[in-house]
Each structure stands twice: as structure tokens, then as C-alpha cells.
Amino acid sequence: MSRIAVVGAGYVGLTTAACLADLGNEVCVVEIDQEKVRALRRGRLHFFEPGLREMIERNARAGRLRFTNAYADAIPGAEFAFLAVGTPEGTNGEADLSNVQQAACSIAQNLGGPLVVVNKSTVPIGTGDVVSDTVRRFNTHFPVEVVSNPEFLREGSALQDFMKPDRVVIGAHNREAAERVAKLYEPLQSPVLIYNLYTAEMVKYASNAFLAARISFINEIARICERVDADAKRVAEGMGLDRRIGPHFLDAGIGYGGSCFPKDVKALAAIAEQYEYHPELLHAVMDINRDQRTLVVDKLRECLGSLRGQVVGMLGLAFKPNTDDMREAPSIEIGQALLKRGAVVRAYDPAAVEKARAIMPEVDYRRNAQAVARGADAIVVVTEWNEFKQLDLHRLKRLMRRPVMVDGRNLYDPEEMRRLGFVYRGIGRN
Ligand code: NAD
């Protein structure tokens, strides 16, 4: 059993805290937002992540997990402090490290003994040294080691990803500190890779950039497929069975979004530019992704002509299924483009309506897919929630004023859709 502080009660912080508590550790989460802490103490979570609320509740009840706004409650007595604060996009695409700096400073001011600071936030290469320097500047009494331990969890399957990781990456200048962190992960029986600090920090950016590149790659292939009458979905299937390629992240569609890929690819490009290297491929990945978002709007215009006064329904709002996260969700850009062109926009999402309403109050939010379809001139599939895969499409079509369906996630079979009488457009398949 170890005593652990987790700084930041977001997706990464709460998942880390709940899982480490579940493994038998004593965990205290320190979060600056008072409202979040109040809610957590009452067993409420400010976002949706399958199974997380229940795991938090179980461990809080067992006395292994607690929440506070005060570093003085969390840091003295802790052997490890996990940093899981946000690192949003800065003004020029670089990662904004002010939360990390602030947290490092607060930790240093509240030290009660030696500590290992474990950085889970995604940060530019060398940030471990910045954290070390900051802590040393505000504390001269106790030895503090900084270890990088990037997080690879996916929202929607965060608990599973934490408990059964493909690998755990740890980086440090001090091998002994790295091994102490590795010991926390021993119960998971997953491969643990110990590298130097900079390599560990780089593994995270390189992994996200590679996955984003696969998405932009297949989206570029999809654009070519449409021109040569090939089917991008089948092309991806045919490629994915090649073991050198593999099937993941080869879904042509609206492109990547969310709180990580967009900002991390941008931040990696900014790091490269800082070192006077122009990362050509990363820029192409970002350009393709940007254009992919508006492709569905172009397709709608192709089918409907002018969008002015047309009722367009969006199925799905969250940046991906099984989450209510709206950060950098393609639905925002699509919704705004539709509104700008004078369309009447309706939407439904199984989890993200509340968050979407705060961002796009002009949209008419409905209770289900049928209510979106009733009297609509077109539907655009934005997020590939499972429930959209099971829709009674025959009924849906009968509810619509005009049977136009732009399937931004290639959920449906083009031939079947035409047989049902839809004017159907997928991505990369005619
Ligand atoms: P988040 O915005 O959901 O949560 C961050 C939390 O930290 C917020 O609640 C915020 O109030 C709190 N915070 C900010 N400054 C603080 C401070 N000084 N002291 C205490 N609390 C503070 O962010 P997230 O999605 O959990 O991401 C955290 C980090 O992990 C980011 O660097 C992100 O890139 C990385 N990451 C995220 C994911 C993901 O899927 N969300 C996956 C892997 C890595």
C-alpha cells in the first residue's frame, strides 16, 4: 500500500485515483475547482465515463479515496504525487504549461517529506526538468524526484485501459525513482518500459501523432476512393488484415477530435518548429483533418442545394461514442457551418446534449433519433454511437420530409440505404 496524491480531478486524474485506490493504495485527489470537489464528495461526477462513478463510490466508502481543494490535505504524508492537470493549447499551438507550473509550485509549498512527482499530463519534451526546477525553487528541505509516466487511456474505456494497459511507460533521470513508480503498476502484470525522461515524454506525443496520422491517411485514401469508385471501408478492411498494418484507426469519416489528438499533434509540431525542424507530415495530418470536418456540409449542399431553411438533424455530438466530452468535437464545427448557411439544426446525442447546449444554444436538442428525423430534410451521422447502428432505418425514412442521409461515420451500407429509398452519401464510398 502506498500513500498517493493525485492532482487534478479530470478524466485522467479521477481514473488514475480510482484505479490506484482499487489496487489497495490510499489516494487523495486535490483539485482547484471547489464545485467539482463538492460534487465528488456527494458521489457525483462532472462527466460521463463508464464505470468510473461506481469505482469512485466503492473506494471512497472503503476509506481509500478522498477529495480535497487543499494541497495541505493531500501532499504532506504522500509518497507519490501524480500530476493530471490539463495542458491545453497555447496561443501558438504549443502546450500551455501554466497548470503544471502552478501545481508544481503548490506541491513544493506543501511538502512534508521526500516525494516522487509523477507526471501523467501530456507535456512537451523536457517538462520533467521544468517541474524539477520549479519544485526546487520553492522547497529546499526535502528531496523530490520527477518521473514521467504518460497516460494512454481512451475516454469511454478509461478504466479498462488503465487496468489492462498495453504498456506502462516510465521515464526519469533517477532509475530508483522510476522503479518505485513501476512497483505501483506491478499488480497489473503489464509490460513496464523504463526510459530516460525525454524519451518517455516523446513516446506519448509520437503515439498520438501516429494514430492521428492513420486517420488522416485513410481520409485521404477515402477522397481518392470517391473519385475512382472504390469503397474506402472495404479498402481499410483489406489493408487492416495485413498484420504489418492492423485494423485500428483506419475508419474514414469526419476526422479526429477530442481533448488530445488535435492539441497534441499541434504541440508536437510546435516543439519541432522550436528546434527549427519543419514537420511536413504533421502539418499534412492537421490540414487533412481540418478539411474533413466540412466535407459532410459540402455533401449536404450537394444533395439539398441551398441549406437555407432546410431542417438538418445531427445524430451524435460527442467527439466519439461512450463519452459526453465535447472538447474539439467535429459536431461543433459542423453545427456552426450549418447554422451559418441558414439551416435549422436539430441534434440528439445519448450523453453529450447538456454540454453541447452550452456551446451551441441555437441548436434544437431532441430526445432521440426519431425525434430528430421527424420532418427533417436531411440527417448527418456525426458520432458512431452503437444505438445508431441499430436504428430502424425504414421507420426513420418515413419520418423524414426528404430522405437525405449523409453518413459521416460510414455506419450504413450504401446499397441497402438506396434500396430503402435514401439519398445516401458516405465517406469514401459512392
Ligand atoms: P481535464 O481538463 O479533464 O482535468 C484537469 C483537471 O485539473 C481539471 O479538473 C482542473 O480543474 C484541474 N486543475 C487544473 N489546474 C490545477 C491545479 N493547479 N491544481 C489542482 N487541479 C488543477 O483534463 P484531462 O482530460 O484529465 O487531461 C489531463 C492531462 O492528461 C492532459 O495533459 C491531457 O492531454 C492528458 N491526457 C488526457 C487523456 C484523455 O483522454 N482525456 C488521455 C491521455 C492523456
pLDDT tens readout for residues 245-274: 999 999 999 999 999 999 999 999 999 999
Q: Taking CB atoms and a 6 Å cutoff, what residues make up the pocket around ligand 1?
A: 7-13, 30-33, 36, 84-87, 99, 102-103, 120-122, 151, 153, 155, 259-260
Span 288-333, pLDDT tens digits: 999 999 899 999 999 999 999 999 999 999 999 999 999 999 999 9
Q: Counting every residue, how long is the chain?
A: 430
140 has a pLDDT exceeding 90: no
CA 155 to ligand 1: nearest atom: 40
- Pocket test residue of 28, 68, 85, 266 for ligand 1, highest count of atoms within 8 A of CB: 85
Confidence (pLDDT) at 181:
98
Q: Which of the residue ranges 133-142, 155-164, 329-338 would you say has the lowest mean pLDDT? A: 133-142
> What gap in Å lies between CA 151 and CA 191, rounded to an integer?
14
- Which residues share a beta bridge with 144? 115
Confidence (pLDDT) at 400:
98
**DSSP per residue, 78-115:** -SEEEE-----B-TTSSB--HHHHHHHHHHHHT--S-E
Span 363-408, pLDDT tens digits: 999 999 999 999 999 999 999 999 999 999 999 999 999 999 999 9
> What gap in Å lies between CA 10 and CA 85, rounded to an integer?
7
Looking at the annotation, which residues are catalytic? 260
For ligand 1, the distance from its centroid to the CA atom of residue 346, given in whole angstroms, is 31
Span 56-79, pLDDT tens digits: 999 999 999 999 999 999 999 999
Residue 262, all three cell numbers: 488535435
- Pocket test residue of 15, 37, 259 for ligand 1, highest count of atoms within 8 A of CB: 259
Beta strand segments in 325-410, E: 344-348, 364-365, 378-381, 404-407
- Say if CB 331 and CB 314 are below 8 A apart: yes
Nearest Cα to 254, choosing from 206, 159, 319, 301? 319
> What pTM value is reported for the model?
0.95
pLDDT bucket at 276, cuts 50 / 70 / 90: very high
> What gap in Å lies between CA 116 and CA 102, rounded to an integer?
17
Confidence (pLDDT) at 139:
87
Kindly report the protein residue whose alpha carbon is nearest to atom 28 of ligand 1.
86
For ligand 1, the distance from its centroid to the CA atom of residue 264, given in whole angstroms, is 13
CA 8 to ligand 1: nearest atom: 7
| Residue 63 backbone zone (phi > 0: left; psi -120 to 50: alpha; other: beta) | left
Span 32-57, pLDDT tens digits: 999 999 999 999 999 999 999 999 99
Q: Residue range 6-34: average pLDDT?
A: 98
